[in-house]
Amino acid sequence: MLTIANLIKKFQQPGGGELTVLDVPRFEIANGEQVALIGESGGGKTTLLHLIAGMLAATSGSIRIDNIELTRLSEQGRDRFRAATIGYVFQTFNLLPAFSALENVKLGMSFGNGRVDHARAMDLLDRVGLADRANYRPKQLSVGQQQRVAIARSLAGRPKLLLADEPTANVDPASADLVLNLIIDSCRDESIALLMVTHSMEVAGRFERIDRLEDINHIPALKQV
Amino acid sequence: MNLLFIAWRNFRYRALSSFLTTLSLMLGVGLVVLVMAIYGIVSEAFVRNAAVGYNLVVGPRGSALQLTLNSVYYLSQPIENLPYTEFMEFFPAEERARMVREYGGDPALGERDGVYAGFVAGGYAIPLALGDYFGEFRVVGTTPDFFEKLRHGPEVDQPFTFQDGRALKTFTPENQYFECVLGSRVAAQTGLGVGDTMNPTHGDPEGKGHGQGFQIVGVMSPTGTPNDRAVFVNLEGFYLLEGHAKPIEDDAIIVPPERDPDDPRPPLLMIPEREVTSILVRNGNVMFAPGMQNRINESGRAQAAAPIGEINKLMSMIVGPLLSALLVITLITCVVAAFGVLVAIYNSMNDRRRDIAVMRALGARRGSVTWVILFESLIIAIIGGAAGWLLAHIAIYGAGTFIEQQTGVQVGLFSVSQFEWLLLPFVILLSLLAGIVPAMAAYRTDVGSNLSA
Ligand SMILES: Nc1ncnc2c1ncn2[C@@H]1O[C@H](COP(=O)(O)OP(=O)(O)OP(=O)(O)O)[C@@H](O)[C@H]1O
Ligand SMILES: [Mg+2]
């Protein structure tokens, strides 16, 4: 479902000049496949997820998702594509503080093609065990609970690919287990492909396929030029 | 969830800041509405007061504005007088002859029509004699015609009515020539009423008394015109007061009045002794007014002024610019308030960048997050504007009784002044302008860098 070929990402450096962060000759994920991505800090994992989500534009190369060539889309096109196809879970919770848990989940459906479906939003909250917290504000939820709401929100738009960037890094071990299970199980149940970045070998161990960024990316973290 | 709802949530989330910016905009808009209302009330009051059924004021040559202020508003410094013969020019020969017989004077006056008689044709000419005071109030010498023929009210169709008593008469056996009528404010302020006596003073409020008092026979109902603060005395009685007779010139031809020897009435002033300050004229056909006005002004003896025109001139020369300046200042208040909205939203942009990035990650476009910010500033504008508008109108309505007493202008809860409807687009435009700076910041917000933990 995801095919990356000859992808290069360069950043403008603050001091001028360019910094090449990614050079990925080939990277693929099949439909419904679950992949853990590990690698050194600063290696470019988050950058890769941003590129796949269409939040960053590639410098060159090809990112193809469900036969859509992302690098050829305009920014607006990528926004629309992201709303319809990608779910995203961040390391820190990134719930919107002005909205209740339920409204945060509904926000996940607000920018795509589908209508805002109250029943589904409640259903998702129920699945992450927080139906009784639907009207709580993020501030009134624990860190782990916030991350579970974020998972519900990432699933709300019925994505085909879920990107998770160290979703368990900031939660306690018990919550981490719960969060991880929710992500893995939900993706399996809804046949959503999953790409999860993690530093934890324990987390990576839950996946059948574990990729190291160093194997994918020709640019090692410490030798970015 | 649509963008407006998202903006509404943000508005509520930053409740204190939203409340304060909305409040400042509310005050700005409220002030503008108040000034606009005052503008409307003042101009209506002036024009209403000038609309008392007559279309021209005739008086001595000089400032037309001062003539109007004296004769219509009973304000300003007293002016010179006209000889009574000038008043007689508005009447046909037989009426003039009657005056000569009754008062005494040159019989030649009664042998021709007055030069302006033809222009009046079916209208009226009412004399006013000014110059005396009762306390701070002007004393107006006039004839019973004043109460019969003049009209007031929004349609200028309501006759004067009396809350007590009746109009003055030229002569009654009990009061002789000395009857007077009080305007409603005079009665309320002095506590005098029917049956009391009123002693005018000569020349100015501190002038010395005349000795002769006038019997109060009526108190007028409020009219919302300057007549509420005037004292009306019978012109004939006014003439008989000490010092009011003009010295007769040596070469004057006078035939004394024809008097029945049994007539108990004391003699009146003769025509050469009489003066009027001004004459209120209504032409039977208004089309004749400009022609008559020209004739009078060309005569060199008097001038004719259209009160409404004079008042409009006064409005546009002094009152108008003053109120316009006030309006500009209050509009600037709105601009300052809008600037406050800009600063408040812009200051919160640091907190919002992450929210914006999250929304973008959820698929929101740049345009959408931009609109969320613009909508928020729009919400502040609409709530602040509506609240300010409503509050100002409630305040005006609350002061309605007072305003009506002072000016005769009635204000409803939703009587909207002329340019008030422009306020809404103005405030919306302001808020959009204020929203643009933070909205552009939202537009430029980079997703990637704001999402890295
Ligand atoms: N907007 C940017 N401008 C310039 N350089 C950037 C930008 N974003 C990231 N980089 C650089 O790209 C490199 C990769 O960053 P990235 O966040 O993808 O690493 P990562 O693998 O996710 O690291 P970590 O495991 O610590 O999260 C870093 O050297 C970083 O400095
Ligand atoms: Mg990272």
Contact (CB<8Å) A88/B12:
no
pLDDT of residue A93: 66
CA atoms of B448 and B453, how far apart (whole Å): 10
Q: How far A146 CA sits from the closest chain B CA (Å)? A: 14
pLDDT of residue B205: 60
Give the nearest ligand 1 atom to A224 CA: 29
Residues of B in Cβ contact (< 8 Å) with A91: 453
Nearest CB to B1 within list A55, A90, A107 = A107
- What's the A125 CA to ligand 2 centre distance in angstroms? 27
pLDDT of residue B447: 86
Rounded to the nearest integer, the mean pLDDT of chain B is: 87
pLDDT in tens, A56-69: 999 999 999 999 99
Residue A222's pLDDT band, with cuts at 50, 70 and 90, is: low
Q: Do B239 and B200 belong to one domain?
A: yes
The residue from B285, B305, B325 where one domain ends is B305
Residue B358's pLDDT band, with cuts at 50, 70 and 90, is: very high
For A115, which residue in chain B has the nearest alpha carbon? B1
Contact (CB<8Å) A56/B447:
yes
Rounded to the nearest integer, the mean pLDDT of chain A is: 91
pLDDT of residue B51: 66
Q: Which strand (E) or helix (H) includes residue B34?
A: helix B15-50
pLDDT of residue B207: 56
Q: Which strand (E) or helix (H) includes residue B246?
A: none
* Averaged pLDDT, B70-81: 83
pLDDT of residue A142: 92
* Averaged pLDDT, B43-68: 81
Residues of A in Cβ contact (< 8 Å) with B447: 50, 55-56
ipTM entry: 0.92
Name the percent of chain B lying above pLDDT 90: 43
Q: Do B42 and B96 belong to one domain?
A: no
Give the nearest ligand 1 atom to A199 CA: 25
| All residues at 6 or more sequence positions from B428 whose CB lies less than 8 Å from its CB, including other chains | B378, B381, B382, B385
- Closest ligand to C-alpha of residue A40 is 1
Q: B59-90 as b/e, with b when 16 or more CB fall inside 10 Å?
A: bbbebbbbbbbbbbbbeeeebebbbbbbbbbb
Q: Do B111 and B42 belong to one domain?
A: no
Number of domains in chain B: 2
Instruction: Please provide the distance, in angstroms rounded to a whole number, between the alpha carbons at the two ends of chain B.
Output: 27
Q: Is A106 on the interface with B (CB under 8 A)?
A: yes
- What's the A50 CA to ligand 2 centre distance in angstroms? 10
Q: Do B201 and B346 belong to one domain?
A: no
Q: Do B378 and B418 belong to one domain?
A: yes
**Site of tokens 């929101």:** B364
Q: Is B236 exposed, middle or buried (0-12, 13-18, 19+ CB in 10 A)?
A: buried
Q: What share of chain B is helix, strand, coil (3-state, %, to 5)?
A: 55, 15, 30
Residue A102's pLDDT band, with cuts at 50, 70 and 90, is: very high
Residues of B in Cβ contact (< 8 Å) with A79: 360, 363-366
Residue A134's pLDDT band, with cuts at 50, 70 and 90, is: very high
pLDDT in tens, B139-182: 999 999 999 988 887 777 888 999 999 999 989 888 889 999 99
Contact (CB<8Å) B451/A75:
no
Residues of A in Cβ contact (< 8 Å) with B17: none
Residues of B in Cβ contact (< 8 Å) with A106: 1
Strands B201-202 and B275-276: unpaired
| All residues at 6 or more sequence positions from B444 whose CB lies less than 8 Å from its CB, including other chains | none
Q: Do B274 and B298 belong to one domain?
A: yes
**Site of tokens 């504008």:** B381
Pick among A12, A49, A51, A82 to test the B interface (most B CBs inside 10 A): A82
Q: Where are the beta strands (DSSP E) in A75-190?
A: 86-89, 161-165
Nearest CB to B453 within list A80, A91, A103 = A91
**Is residue A5 predicted with pLDDT exceeding 80?**
yes
Closest C-alpha among A91, A87, A92 to residue A105: A87
CA atoms of B71 and B280, how far apart (whole Å): 8
Q: Is B343 exposed, middle or buried (0-12, 13-18, 19+ CB in 10 A)?
A: middle
CA atoms of B335 and B339, how far apart (whole Å): 6
Contact (CB<8Å) B361/A82:
yes
pLDDT of residue B35: 86
**Is residue B15 predicted with pLDDT exceeding 80?**
yes
- What's the A90 CA to ligand 2 centre distance in angstroms? 9
Q: Do B289 and B365 belong to one domain?
A: no
Strands B124-134 and B278-282: antiparallel
pLDDT of residue B200: 87
- How many CB pairs below 8 Å do chains A and B form together? 84
Q: Do B242 and B333 belong to one domain?
A: no
Q: Do B83 and B27 belong to one domain?
A: no
pLDDT of residue B254: 79
For A137, which residue in chain B has the nearest alpha carbon? B13
Contact (CB<8Å) A111/B368:
yes
Pocket lining for ligand 1, CB < 6 angstroms: A 11, 19, 21, 39, 41-47, 224; B 448-449, 452
The residue from B273, B305, B337 where one domain ends is B305
Residue B49's pLDDT band, with cuts at 50, 70 and 90, is: low
Nearest CB to A55 within list B13, B354, B360 = B360
Q: Do B134 and B256 belong to one domain?
A: yes
Nearest CB to B1 within list A46, A86, A106 = A106
pLDDT of residue B27: 92
* Residue nearest atom 9 in ligand 1 by C-alpha distance: A47
For B351, which residue in chain A has the nearest alpha carbon? A97
Residue B226's pLDDT band, with cuts at 50, 70 and 90, is: confident
* Residue nearest atom 3 in ligand 1 by C-alpha distance: A11
* Averaged pLDDT, B392-415: 78
Contact (CB<8Å) A111/B365:
yes
Q: A17-28 as b/e, with b when 16 or more CB fall inside 10 Å?
A: eeebbbbbeebe
Name the percent of chain A lying above pLDDT 70: 97
The residue from B254, B285, B305 where one domain ends is B305
Residues of B in Cβ contact (< 8 Å) with A157: 362-363
Structural domain for B420, as ranges = 3-46+314-450
Domains of chain A and CATH, by start? 2-223 (3.40.50.300)
pLDDT in tens, A145-162: 999 999 999 999 899 999
pLDDT in tens, A16-54: 888 899 999 999 999 999 999 999 888 899 999 999 999
Report how far Cα B348 is from the mean position of its chain's Cα atoms: 49
Residues of A in Cβ contact (< 8 Å) with B366: 75-76, 79
**Is residue A217 predicted with pLDDT exceeding 90?**
no
* Averaged pLDDT, A97-113: 92
**Is residue B52 predicted with pLDDT exceeding 80?**
no
pLDDT of residue B42: 79
- Both tokens of B201, joined, read 């003073």
Q: How far B389 CA sits from the closest chain A CA (Å)? A: 29
pLDDT in tens, B270-323: 888 899 999 999 988 888 888 999 999 998 889 999 888 888 888 788 878 888
Contact (CB<8Å) A90/B451:
yes
Q: Do B22 and B104 belong to one domain?
A: no
Q: Do B57 and B41 belong to one domain?
A: no
pLDDT of residue A224: 59
- Both tokens of A33, joined, read 């496949």
Give the nearest ligand 1 atom to A48 CA: 18
Among positive and negative, which fits the CA dihedral A43, A46, A48, A51?
negative
Q: Is A90 on the interface with B (CB under 8 A)?
A: yes
**Is residue B453 predicted with pLDDT exceeding 60?**
no
Q: How far B449 CA sits from the closest chain A CA (Å)? A: 10
- What's the A67 CA to ligand 1 centre distance in angstroms? 28
CB atoms within 10 A of CB B256: 10
